[in-house]
A and B are shown apart, each in its own frame.
Chain A
Amino acid sequence: MQEYKQIPITRDEIVPTALRMRHDGVQLVMIHAFVQTDGQMRISWDYAVDPVVESYYVLGEERVPSIVDIYDEAARWPELELHELLGIDFEGLDTSKRLFLPEDLLETQGKGQILVTPLSELVEKRDEVLADRQRKEEDK
């Protein structure tokens, strides 16, 4: 059984932790995020300190610093994914390009928690966006 070590940190410790790990040559396994049952957002940075996975997590933050400068591409895609699907803002991350969501729905990106919103509400939201766009085009 693989050990998963969970270590709580504050928002200010995210970048120093990443710098320390990068310096030690540790690989970033992934950046995970989910909304807990009590409604708090939990974001964790998992590093493969073999044979253990060390997970540094922050609670209740929806705006955190980006570590793209430190981990380059290994962190860019995970951060973009969380921005699109869970609406987390990474300070310093270039979000002008999409990753998974359709190119023609760029205006909705990073504004909703797609992974936790019920499907019926998502459909309503999409209809709203499309109606809004049509109205704008008619105005032109």
Chain B
Amino acid sequence: MSYIVPIGPYHPALEEPVHARLYTEGEVIRDAEVFVGYNHRGIEKLCTERNAIQTLVLVERVCGICSHSHALTYALAVESVNGVEPPKRGQYIRVITAELERLHSHLLWLGIACHIIGHDSMFMHAWDVRESIMDLLEELSGNRVNYSMVTIGGARRDISDELRRKILKTLDVFTPQLDRIVDICMNDKTIAMRTQGVGVMSTEDAIRLGAVGPHARASNVKIDVRRDSPYCCYEDFDFDVPVWPSCDVYARVVVRLLECVESMKIIRQALEMLPEGPINLGKKIPKIQEGLAIGRHEAPRGALSYLVVGNGTQLNHRVSIHVPSFKNTPTVPHMLRGNTVADAGLIIASIDPCFSCLDR
């Protein structure tokens, strides 16, 4: 018996609007299609009518989870057009915020994945641990989301010595908790049975379909913008790029958790080596010079890129935003083929999709 199973765009199991159509043969999915665009807000268009500081505020609202990544990447692109280099302390503060954001984003995803698997106690445990990172972010920036830590030419808020010691102390408490989560996720039978061999995407397919971020790294493709094309002083830090060869949902769980461990390493190094000096280049609204440049950043979900075109005034001539979900979502139908309907939700969630980012 063949059926077409529609999911969404508004569905209790989905956090964000997306429409998937599954063509099934009994329980098995033979083909699938994904439709997006239910959250299109025309942000690229709005950017062309705003100056650089206003655009920072606007692009932070592209996504709720990786808001710092968007502001940071836009700032990188504008600084590249203007040819200015922010002070080192500002760059370190940007890195600390970006890595804290990666920690909270990956733990949020882990919670949702465990919830879909049916392992609800792990979901609560992961979110409980995540809360300590959220508290740090709140203390650092004053907000739980939309941190506003970035300005053109540096960071907006400084890290005091007291806060620096507090973050290090919290990380000391956090490390054994995270290690326990990693241990459970890698050895638990429930998680292994639901994730191993599900939603396989081979290494060759990952390269061909253009997957990015943890999704690609879980298919054994070693790409990471932080390592391949360093920015924001990432070359100062010592960290690994974890990959996993099994190419399934299990690999995506493992890669994200190992990445959390690497993020902790980066935050620790950044806090210990935090240089003295100013944090930004002043509060003047910058003119965006004639020319164009690209800014790339490894957001929690993968490589995020901004193209900024200036025309010599304060306004942007064109801002082109390209988010990791835009690259990862087209790979979903490919992974769904041959799996059962029961696993569809898990496979869609396994790329950590963000449809607000995607639609812009």
Contact = CB atoms under 8 A, between A and B. Distances in A.
Q: Do A and B come from one complex?
A: yes
A100 B355 CA distance: 11
Given A25-B207, A34-B309, A100-B40, A48 B80 contact: no
Interface stretch (A7-15, A67-75, A88-96): A67-75
A95 B44 CA distance: 22
B223 A1 contact: no
A72 B209 CA distance: 6
Contact of A48 (B44, B48, B228, B230): B228
B341 interface: no
Interface string A87-120: 0000000000111111000000000001100010
B317 A37 contact: yes
B36 A27 contact: no
Interface stretch (B23-31, B174-182, B255-263, B288-296): B288-296
Interface stretch (B123-131, B136-144, B164-172, B322-330): B322-330
B296 A28 contact: no
B37 A1 contact: no
B36 A74 contact: no
A94 to B, nearest CB: 13
B283 interface: no
B37 A101 contact: yes
Chain A: interface secondary structure?
A: mixed
For chain A, which range describes its interface: under 10, 10 to 19, 20 to 34, or 35 or more residues? 35 or more
Contacts of B292: 4, 6
A99 B35 CA distance: 7
Contact of B305 (A29, A102, A114): A29
A27 B45 contact: no
For chain B, which range describes its interface: under 10, 10 to 19, 20 to 34, or 35 or more residues? 35 or more
B85 A1 contact: yes
A55 B294 contact: yes
A29 B296 contact: yes
A78 B294 CA distance: 16
B69 interface: no
Contacts of A73: 209-210, 330-331, 334
Contacts of B210: 27-28, 71-75
B37 A99 contact: yes
Interface string A60-85: 00000000000111111110000001
Interface in A119-133: 119
Contact of B209 (A25, A74, A101, A102): A74
A130 to B, nearest CB: 19
Contacts of A119: 45
Contact of B330 (A29, A34, A76, A115): A76
Contact of B296 (A2, A76, A99): A2
Nearest to A101: B37
B311 interface: yes
A84 to B, nearest CB: 9
Contact of B295 (A2, A72, A85, A102): A2
B307 interface: yes
A37 B311 contact: yes
Contact of B45 (A35, A102, A114): A114
Closest 3 CB pairs of A and B: A74-B210, A73-B330, A50-B228
Interface of B: 35-37, 40, 44-45, 48, 76, 79-80, 83, 85, 207-210, 212, 223, 228-231, 292-296, 303, 305, 307, 309, 311, 317-318, 320, 322, 326-327, 329-331, 334, 359
Given A29-B322, A52-B229, A74-B327, 9 more contacts: A2-B231, A6-B292, A29-B305, A30-B305, A51-B228, A51-B230, A72-B209, A77-B330, A115-B45
